[in-house]
A and B are shown apart, each in its own frame.
Chain A
Amino acid sequence: MADHGILSSLLTTFQPVNFLSCFIGAVVGTLVGVLPGLGPAAAMALVIPLTLKLGPTAGLIMLAGIYYGSMYGGSTTSILVNVPGEPASVVTTIDGYAMARKGRAGAALAVAAIGSFVAGTFSVIALQFFAPLLARSALAFGPAEYFTLTVLGVIMLSNLTGKSRARSLIMIMVGLLLSTVGTDPVGGMERFSFGLEAAQGGVSFIALTTGLFGVAEVFAVMAEGEEQIKLLPVRFRELYPNREEIRRSVAPMARGSVLGFLIGLLPGPAATMASFASYGLERRISKHREEFGKGAIEGVAGPESANNAAAGGAMIPLLSLGLPFTPATAVLLGGMLLHGITPGPFLLRDRPDVFWGVVGSFYLGNMMLLILNLPLVGIFAKIVRVAPKYLMPTVLVLCVIGAYGDNSSLFDVWVMLGAGVVGYVMRKYDYAPAPLIVGLVLGPVMERSLRQALIISKGSLSGLWESPLCIAMWIVILLAAVLPFAMHVVHKSTGTRRNA
């Protein structure tokens, strides 16, 4: 294994067939991320037969290219039209779209691309040093640890929007409830589908997000009235981040890279958790806290770096435990099995060429995405300059295609419309939609791990906090839950004393 370091992984990726596979994967992935209708999982599934002819390393590099290319493409639509392509870019809508509305779409897109590249580089280098060790430690995660981790996620991300913690928690609970629609993950019983065949597969993530973000945004623009919508003139030099924006992005990128990599090592929906956690961290420590939600560059740089670093770090639990947490990674693992490669703790030892080839392709792919996309920033940024009366109908049609294309089901289009109406009402009543997505993503993992942990411990609740890892996480959960209230009480009493 020692001979398979950063150099050998890059050398593997630079072999002509692997290089070309990486390029095709990154381009197709970006298109899939930008355009609705064909999600990364579906695109990867379509490409699998082609990859079988390429061999395992090149084939998997192409599939991985589609995966991270779509992550970048998803961020582009989040910033430009408030429609996140996948869960990890939901948080980018908050400040990325706000920047776009202020005429800084180009800067947001460029920072997202640079941040992704920086974080991708960091995660690849970190993997070289820690992968063997981390592959073993990932095995320490059992159902009880998974459950505790998801509870930790809920608590840590409940202060995401910086508004009311209670309202965010309410939205997370709604997301958790929505995640129970469809087939029960343990026993296979049908729940909350109201006898509708189309609902048996659960609530479509694409339908829900396109509705909550895209359709609701169109409604919000309509409510503002045409006279309120100002199209800001953008000069060429304003398309790219200015010195101040770059200066403010450096530290969030660095923090996002480290945080994202660490979260990526934990089994679970890592990229999503990482982007949300990074946003929360940046909002908490920023000197420009008041700008968050209104177009803070840190709100784009941090999460975009974090989700990319997490995607790199997540290769460890993904490949060593063989447990996918998103449809796209499930297809990636399916592709591995079709290529005769069994994911597991010994993959790194037995097939280092495949492991490091895929990891190296992350780095190369990020470089390709940066080179390909930076010149396109100007073109993308012009999209937001299109008058709403033409842009918004186009967004609606793309949302419909996205929702329909996920399962070829009109039911999902109805779900999207319903989510759009609810999303608009939520905005009006100050409920942010992002925490709902956290609940929807964490729900299935949380439920499955809770029930499995209880089965293993024969119904003893103490099974949920027996291991040292669980104890450590529960302590953090308690601190995270209690500290804000304690601080609030201290601030209140200090204020009262001062007033007196």
Chain B
Amino acid sequence: MATRKERLSGLVVMLFGAGSLLYNLKYPLDTWGNPGPGVFPLMAGTVLVVLAAWVLGRDILKPASREGGESNAQCTPLKETFRITQGERRIFLMIAVFVLYILMIKWIGFFVSNFFFVILASRLIGARSWGAPVALSAGINLFCYALFDLWLKLSFPRGVLF
């Protein structure tokens, strides 16, 4: 793995731990004899920050790899570290579709939004035609409706249409 990536991940985890410790200040620690709700998150958060700092420090101080890895001086350019592949572009699109799907569940109901979601997801994952995704989506919806709604009585949001 690229050194810059290692450092970045260590830094993000450290920031997460530090953020949780800061937020944890809201909760009382009380005494050792009667520990409050802030004690355990404080302990876990502290260990997390220490470990992340250790990993980060180790990655920064790491000497150049013998197997063609990169040294501190020869880190991958920032542009290369954040390079987005074609597949990852599709992931971003999928996340956008997913967000839209969850938002629409409340308004147009689970089954309608599910119908469109499956078609779009199938297309994003590689389906070239429209016919098969539409058939797949209809099949999945019918299966879900019969099994989860009619039989198992899971209550899905109906939306304004039903």
Residues of A participating in the B interface, judged by any CB pair closer than 8 Å: 35, 37-38, 164, 166-167, 169-170, 173-174, 176-177, 180, 184, 186-187, 189, 191-192, 218-219, 221-226, 387-390, 392-394, 396-397, 400-401, 404-405, 408, 410, 413-414, 417, 421, 424, 429-431, 443, 446-447, 450-451, 454-455, 458-461
16 sampled A-B residue pairs with Cβ under 8 A: A169-B51, A173-B47, A177-B17, A388-B125, A393-B117, A397-B117, A404-B110, A410-B157, A413-B105, A417-B98, A424-B91, A429-B5, A431-B9, A450-B40, A454-B34, A460-B32
In the complex, whether B158 has a CB less than 8 A from a CB of chain A is: no
Minimal beta-carbon separation of A444 from chain B (angstroms): 10
With a 10 A CB-CB cut-off, give which of A219, A389, A400, A446 has the most chain B CB atoms.
A389
In the complex, whether B74 has a CB less than 8 A from a CB of chain A is: no
In the complex, whether B142 has a CB less than 8 A from a CB of chain A is: no
In the complex, residue of chain A having the shortest beta-carbon distance to the beta carbon of B99: A417
Q: What 19 additional pairs, Cβ within 8 angstroms, besides A170-B48, A393-B118, A414-B102?
A: A169-B51, A170-B51, A173-B48, A177-B44, A177-B45, A221-B125, A222-B90, A223-B91, A389-B125, A390-B127, A393-B125, A393-B140, A396-B117, A397-B117, A401-B154, A410-B106, A413-B102, A455-B35, A459-B31
In the complex, whether B36 has a CB less than 8 A from a CB of chain A is: yes
- Please tell me which one of the listed residues B87, B106, B133 contacts residue A222 in the complex, with CB atoms under 8 A apart: B87
Known: A224-B87, A393-B121. A166 touches B55 (CB 8 A): yes
Q: Are B9 and A429 in contact (CB-based, < 8 A)?
A: yes
In the complex, whether B27 has a CB less than 8 A from a CB of chain A is: yes
In the complex, residue of chain A having the shortest beta-carbon distance to the beta carbon of B36: A187
Q: Are B41 and A180 in contact (CB-based, < 8 A)?
A: yes
Minimal beta-carbon separation of B41 from chain A (angstroms): 5
In the complex, residue of chain A having the shortest beta-carbon distance to the beta carbon of B1: A430
In the complex, whether B130 has a CB less than 8 A from a CB of chain A is: no
Q: Are A392 and B48 in contact (CB-based, < 8 A)?
A: no
Q: How far, in angstroms, from A405 to B149 measured CA to CA in the complex? A: 11
With a 10 A CB-CB cut-off, give which of A173, A424, A461 has the most chain B CB atoms.
A173
Q: How far, in angstroms, from A421 to B91 measured CA to CA in the complex? A: 9
In the complex, residue of chain B having the shortest beta-carbon distance to the beta carbon of A428: B5
Q: Work out how many contacts link A and B, with CB atoms closer than 8 A.
A: 163
In the complex, whether B67 has a CB less than 8 A from a CB of chain A is: no
Known: A388-B125, A397-B118, A417-B95. A37 touches B148 (CB 8 A): yes
In the complex, whether B65 has a CB less than 8 A from a CB of chain A is: no
Number of interface residues of B (CB under 8 A): 66
Minimal beta-carbon separation of A422 from chain B (angstroms): 10
- Please tell me which one of the listed residues A404, A405, A454 contacts residue B32 in the complex, with CB atoms under 8 A apart: A454
Q: Are B102 and A410 in contact (CB-based, < 8 A)?
A: yes
In the complex, residue of chain A having the shortest beta-carbon distance to the beta carbon of B34: A455
- B118 surroundings in chain A (CB, below 8 A): 393-394, 396-397
Q: How far, in angstroms, from A405 to B157 measured CA to CA in the complex? A: 11
With a 10 A CB-CB cut-off, give which of B110, B114, B152 has the most chain A CB atoms.
B152
- A404 surroundings in chain B (CB, below 8 A): 110, 154, 156
- A223 surroundings in chain B (CB, below 8 A): 85, 87-88, 91
Q: How far, in angstroms, from A408 to B105 measured CA to CA in the complex? A: 13
- A387 surroundings in chain B (CB, below 8 A): 126
In the complex, whether B75 has a CB less than 8 A from a CB of chain A is: no
Known: A389-B125, A389-B126, A450-B40. A397 touches B114 (CB 8 A): yes
